[in-house]
A and B are shown apart, each in its own frame.
Chain A
């Protein structure tokens, strides 16, 4: 046996190794989907928490400016966007449930519905930006609007990636190969993260006084 061979074990190929890789221990899974995606969720939550902390600190330093500028946002649009994303989270949860039950046709419909809701959110957000810019509130108008465009834009970017993630889920559900729920659960976890982050952004930008 060579030195290299002595250092290593054969490739993880058995069911135990696969279970460990997917976060299972003794047949019990720690989390839905790949635990790797949960590491992403945790890290993104930390990064966004730091953005939110900076926003709150800057807000407390100029409360009047933030309140005045915040009044120019349309709360109804914010509520509509929040509801749309919550509904999309509901449909992606239905999709996961359908895959677990082996109802792949229903799962596909739910995945496309999720994509549709995401698209509605996207159009609504672009319209909202266009309206604000039309009223003369741009990225550089004041600090509140800098944060408004920054936080909504970085969230928008996550949403765009979300369409790719949903595309992966749809491709997986529609393929003729073995369709495990794990990949769809992983994609759904990402989509729920978009929703979760938006709820926080909505509360901070539209609701907090």
Chain B
């Protein structure tokens, strides 16, 4: 393992891209662990909880919220590297740079409500669980509605990526990935009723607003991580069409430079 890393550090011309890709992989796994297992804020609890139940909800996961979001506050900055790596794919395409710049700006904004504000608000609730239940209810709604509020950002972000992929002539990603972006964008729209409903399939914990949406998002994320890995393998640091990968001649990471040649 150490030998492989040393090989990449010394010889791999694409090491910065690989750092970006691994940041994405590690971050998404960490995100799942922290939100689903440690803080236990996902899957989201029902929006219909009474104030006394909300106080209990904060009390039940006090340590998880405090420790979980402390880690999130440390690693949250990694989103800059992740977004830059994704924006790089658009810079490598034949399309206008406006796509990459728009994508960077919109996802930089998404980090605030989608992760940091939710984390801060949940931490505020968990820090002093003896607060007035009405205040705790306020924090609870603010935290989860803030999280829901990022869906519009993901919608536009997916459409930007879709436009870039479909217009690109450099074959950075297959066209079907452009259409998959559209699918993902359309499922983000479905989250909008969560602002209206307190219970049922359209509420923020509902089958349609959360579960189906999450299934699509996990599929989408897995697909783009796989395609991004392949794209980095094909990258030639040029400006024209991206070459296809030759499976017979791809070097084994950690092999010698001579072997790769």
Picked from A6, A39, A150, the residue with its CB within 8 Å of the CB of B180 is: A39
A27 lies within 8 A of chain B by Cβ: no
- Contact between B243 and A8 (Cβ–Cβ < 8 Å)? yes
CB distance from A167 to the nearest CB of B (A): 14
A5 lies within 8 A of chain B by Cβ: yes
Chain A contact residues: helix, strand, loop or mixed: helix
- A8/B244 contact (C-beta < 8 A), A36-B175, A50-B212, A140-B196 known: yes
Contacts of B245 in A (CB 8 A): 7-9
Contacts of A146 in B (CB 8 A): 193, 197, 200, 202
Contacts of A12 in B (CB 8 A): 171, 244
Contacts of A39 in B (CB 8 A): 176, 179-180
Q: Which of A40-48, A116-124, A199-207 forms contacts with chain B?
A: A40-48
Q: Which of A91-99, A106-114, A153-161, A170-178 forms contacts with chain B?
A: A153-161
- Contact between B249 and A7 (Cβ–Cβ < 8 Å)? yes
Picked from B180, B196, B251, the residue with its CB within 8 Å of the CB of A40 is: B180
A67 lies within 8 A of chain B by Cβ: no
CB distance from A22 to the nearest CB of B (A): 10
CB distance from B180 to the nearest CB of A (A): 6
* Complex Cα gap A157–B243 (Å): 36
Q: What is the size, in residues, of chain B's interface with A at 8 Å between Cβ atoms?
A: 44
Residue of B nearest to A38 (CB): B176
- Contact between B246 and A8 (Cβ–Cβ < 8 Å)? yes
Contacts of A6 in B (CB 8 A): 249, 251, 260-261
CB distance from A21 to the nearest CB of B (A): 8
- Contact between A44 and B183 (Cβ–Cβ < 8 Å)? yes
- Contact between B190 and A154 (Cβ–Cβ < 8 Å)? yes
* Complex Cα gap A157–B155 (Å): 13
Contacts of B19 in A (CB 8 A): none
- Contact between B175 and A1 (Cβ–Cβ < 8 Å)? no
B186 lies within 8 A of chain A by Cβ: yes
B24 lies within 8 A of chain A by Cβ: no
* Complex Cα gap A154–B213 (Å): 14
Contacts of B183 in A (CB 8 A): 40, 43-44, 47
Contacts of B51 in A (CB 8 A): none
Residue of B nearest to A7 (CB): B250
B207 lies within 8 A of chain A by Cβ: yes
B174 lies within 8 A of chain A by Cβ: yes
A interface residues, Cβ below 8 angstroms from B = 1, 3-12, 34-37, 39-40, 43-44, 47, 50-51, 54, 58, 139-140, 143, 146, 150, 154, 157-158, 161
- Which 8 A-B pairs have CB atoms at the shortest separation, nearest pair first? A40-B179, A8-B243, A36-B176, A36-B175, A39-B176, A11-B241, A9-B246, A3-B260
**10 CB < 8 A contacts A-B:** A7-B246, A8-B234, A8-B243, A9-B246, A11-B244, A37-B175, A37-B179, A39-B176, A54-B212, A161-B182
